[in-house]
Amino acid sequence: MHIKRSARLVLLVALMVLAAACGGEKAADTGGGGDTGDSEEAASDIRVALALDVGGLGDKSFNDAANRGLQQAIDEGLIAEENTDLIETDQTGSNRDDNVVNLADNGYDLILGIGFSFSPGIDKIAADYPEQFFGIIDGFSAEAPNVANLTFKEHEGSFLVGAAAALKSETGTIGFLGGQEGTGLIEKFEAGYVAGAEAVNPDIEVLVEYIGDSVQAFVDPTKGEALSTRMYDRGADVIYHASGQSGLGLFKAATQANMYAIGVDSDQSLTASPAEQELILTSMLKRVDTAVYDAIQQAVDGNFQSGTQVFGLDSEGVDYAINEFNDNEDLLSSDIQAQLDEFKQQIIDGEITVPESP
């Protein structure tokens, strides 16, 4: 009897030690919180996909900016990387709708079409997937409870770089290179640019060239280079482009002419060659990354906002970039930056109304 009681006590103590050890290990896992555990808890299980437009990743502009917004959401733990996807359209854009349907069929909770050309297709597609959300950069989709048009005041940001061009120009002639003509979107860039330039110099001459009237106008750097060269030859010493991948041709022309260029959407000096960096006066920042990130945040928080959302100077949706290679103020001097910042505040305060059409 005595031996059996001792054996039972030993067994009981052993079980208690084992239980304590298991409990301690569990507490260390949850309370100690390794980085992986925290990020997995923080990340929503929302699934997000980007349907990119022509030019795809590597356009150093529009699509790359959208991807930065997605990557920011991943890096900050809003969503898990394994719950995301990117899909690129072909160079004609003919498979945009197929890509969106493919992503919807695969159960993505939020699908973002990166470009206004997604609007007609998503108008029709969204109704078939009422439990999923859709966002369109520069969209003009009809009102729908699960679709958001994420738009920008491109004319406001373009006003600032137009003023910069006029302040920098020595010839009194500057240029604008547009991508697709006739949609009304790229014309907003042109209108703001001209207005900003004329606010500095009412007598300035602004040369204007458009690459084409289809989406192919955004993926033709050869023609972008030729048209830019023609404007430099006609006396322009600064040219601003709003032409997607075609604008890479502008930068080549700028180095050949040793004249200034202005980028768009992203700070394009960051991805330019060393020779181009010295000539990129500034870039008009169109914060596509901000719009993408905000849409993801809304979906994660359960308050996705349908309808049209507008990002302007007042919401840091557009701005101008200061080229980090501007070490000696050879590009934007402190005086020029001060004047641009004054214009910016006047636009935000409503003292300047920037036109949206040429």
The 10 Å CB-count burial string (b at 16+, else e) for 231-244 is bbeeebbbbbbbbb
CATH number where 338 lies: 3.40.50.2300
- Can you read off the two tokens belonging to residue 132? 């999923």
How many domains is the chain built from?
2
Q: What pLDDT sits at residue 56? A: 87
Q: What pLDDT sits at residue 301? A: 96
Distance separating alpha carbons of residues 241 and 208, to the nearest angstrom: 10
Question: In terms of domains, do 185 and 131 share one?
Answer: no
Q: What pLDDT sits at residue 29? A: 33
pLDDT one-digit tens code per residue, 322-349: 988 877 788 999 999 999 999 999 999 9
Question: In terms of domains, do 161 and 91 share one?
Answer: no
**Looking at the domain assignment, is residue 32 inside a domain?**
no
- Residue pair 263/80 in contact (Cβ under 8 Å)? The answer is no
Is the pLDDT at 14 greater than 90? The verdict is: no
pLDDT one-digit tens code per residue, 159-172: 999 999 999 999 99
Distance separating alpha carbons of residues 131 and 149, to the nearest angstrom: 18
Q: What pLDDT sits at residue 330? A: 86
> Poorest-confidence range of 25-34, 206-215, 262-271, 299-308?
25-34
The per-residue DSSP string of 73-104 comes to HHHTTSB-GGGEEEEE--TT-TTHHHHHHHHH
**Looking at the domain assignment, is residue 21 inside a domain?**
no
Closest CA to 113 of 184, 47, 49, 181: 49
Question: In terms of domains, do 230 and 147 share one?
Answer: no
**Looking at the domain assignment, is residue 30 inside a domain?**
no
> Poorest-confidence range of 202-216, 318-332, 344-358?
318-332
pLDDT one-digit tens code per residue, 220-249: 999 999 999 999 999 999 999 999 999 999
- Is the backbone of residue 195 left (phi > 0), alpha (psi -120 to 50) or beta? alpha
- Can you read off the two tokens belonging to residue 159? 């006003």
**Looking at the domain assignment, is residue 1 inside a domain?**
no
| Average pLDDT of every residue of the chain | 89
Compute the average pLDDT of residues 262-266. 94
Is the pLDDT at 351 greater than 80? The verdict is: yes
Q: What pLDDT sits at residue 55? A: 86
Q: What pLDDT sits at residue 41? A: 53
Closest CA to 231 of 200, 257, 193, 264: 257
Provide the residue type at 231 as one letter. M
Using alpha carbons, list the distances in angstroms from residue 147 to 196, 290, 334, 350. Answer: 33, 17, 43, 30
Q: Which domain holds residue 306?
A: 44-152+289-314
Task: Give the whole-number percent of the chain exceeding pLDDT 70.
Answer: 88
Question: In terms of domains, do 142 and 128 share one?
Answer: yes
- Residue pair 182/246 in contact (Cβ under 8 Å)? The answer is no
Question: In terms of domains, do 164 and 264 share one?
Answer: yes
Is the pLDDT at 16 greater than 50? The verdict is: no
Is the pLDDT at 15 greater than 60? The verdict is: no
